[in-house]
Structure 1
Amino acid sequence: MGGVPVKRHTKSKVGNRRSQLNLRKSTLLPCTNCGAPAMPHKYCMQCGFYRGKAIKEVELEIKKK
């Protein structure tokens, strides 16, 4: 037989375990190249620079009339 808890889990133990399940607010820092908000340790989505180097070429959107 099995599947029966031996001891009761207290509210504080359950709460401490569940406290890690929350969503964390993302950190945005200004890009050093263009100043647009970017996540740390990621390249800038606006200009494609990371730590002063061009990592990715960003395609400019052309508006069609």
Structure 2
Amino acid sequence: MAVPKRRTSRSNTRTRRARWKAQPPTLVPCGCPRKLRTLPHRACAHCGLYAGRPTRPE
């Protein structure tokens, strides 16, 4: 197993940790007239449309 030869400096550790940040999920408008915001590549929970087509029989 690889073992680091030297201790990682405090500056390098903090710089590496500062690059990680939580982001809110990306939302896209649904194709229905209400334009509800949904996750990309998912069917709309309200109307069931995916890429402008119904995914469930109505």
Sort the TM-score into its range (normalised by shorter chain).
0.5 to 0.7
**Which consecutive segments of 4 or more residues in structure 1 shift more than 6 A?**
none
Partner of 1:27: 26
For these two proteins, the number of residue pairs brought into alignment is 54
TM-score, normalised with respect to structure 1: 0.58
Partner of 2:39: 39
SS at match of 1:13: helix
State the AA in 2 paired with 1:36: L
Q: In the TM superposition, what whole-angstrom CA distance separates every residue of 1:4-54 from its partner, at most 9, and x where no partner exists?
A: 75311123432354333x322111121112411111111111101010111
When the two chains are superposed, the root-mean-square deviation of aligned CA atoms in Å is: 2.5
Partner of 1:10: 9
SS at match of 2:14: helix
User: How much identity, in percent, do the aligned residues show?
Assistant: 31
Q: Which has the larger radius of gyration?
A: 1
TM-score, normalised with respect to structure 2: 0.63
Larger relative contact order, structure 1 or 2 (CA cutoff 8 Å, min sep 6)? 2
What 5-or-longer segments of structure 2 have no aligned partner? none
